Amino acid sequence: MKKIEHIGIAVKSLQDSNEMYTKLFGKQPYKTEAVASEAVNTSFFEMGDSKIELLEATKEDSPIAKFLEKRGEGIHHIAYAVDDIKAEINRLKSEGFTILNETPKKGADNKWVVFLHPKTTGGVLIELCQDID
Ligand SMILES: CC[C@H](C(=O)O)C(=O)SCCNC(=O)CCNC(=O)[C@H](O)C(C)(C)COP(=O)(O)OP(=O)(O)OC[C@H]1O[C@@H](n2cnc3c(N)ncnc32)[C@H](O)[C@@H]1OP(=O)(O)O
Ligand SMILES: [Co+2]
């Protein structure tokens, strides 16, 4: 794992949270993007060589909706950048981690992504991201 690619934060309203984080950071998000497969709308703020990703649910069965219902707004996941996501899947499986989607799926910001079950990572939802060439 090369670096923290982004920190994902679950929010109720992307518009309200974009406004708050724009005040907090003193800059606008560089993009907003819907990811229908995850039933989320996202926005991204650059933070050094990492990013803050805000996530709003677009459906009741979105993972973000379930998280908000259970825990309210807050840090949802940490994403790490990897060079070879398939090699990382195999390595992490051999280390005993549970991969939630063994086939990488298309995430936001032009990435292939996989997630590790928080039960096997000390209670922190982990996402791995590889740039889509
Ligand atoms: C891909 C687009 C974008 C990107 O960056 O490109 C994204 O990041 S999309 C982000 C949203 N998508 C996901 O999170 C996909 C992976 N997540 C899942 O598959 C589920 O949310 C899962 C399996 C983590 C939890 O599923 P669910 O909520 O249905 O089950 P439970 O509520 O029973 O949770 C099981 C267990 O895990 C704990 N939990 C749930 N969410 C989190 C979390 N975000 N961080 C830490 N722990 C979490 C939950 O509390 C349960 O533990 P327990 O001790 O039994 O309470
Ligand atoms: Co993410």
* Closest ligand to the CA of 42: 1
* Sites in the chain below the pLDDT cut of 50: none
- 37: DSSP letter: G
| Counted domains in the chain | 1
Residue 89: which H helix or E strand, with range? helix 85-94
Residues whose CB is under 5 A from ligand 2 (ion)? 8, 53, 79, 127
Asked whether 11 and 56 are in contact (CB, 8 A), the reply is yes
Distance 108 CA to ligand 2 centre (A): 7
* 40-52 confidence digits (pLDDT tens): 999 999 999 999 9
Query: Helix %, strand %, coil % for the chain, to 5?
Result: 30, 40, 35
Q: Which of 37, 102, 108 is nearest to 77 (CA)?
A: 108
What's the confidence (pLDDT) of residue 105? Answer: 97
What's the confidence (pLDDT) of residue 71? Answer: 97
What's the confidence (pLDDT) of residue 14? Answer: 98
Q: Report the CATH number at residue 110.
A: 3.10.180.10
Per-residue exposure over 52-86, b if at least 16 CB sit within 10 Å of its own CB, e if not = bbbbbbbeeebbbbebbeeeeeeebbbbbbbeebe
What's the confidence (pLDDT) of residue 34? Answer: 97
What's the confidence (pLDDT) of residue 97? Answer: 98
Structural domain that includes position 42: 3-131
Distance 96 CA to ligand 2 centre (A): 22
Distance 31 CA to ligand 1 centre (A): 24
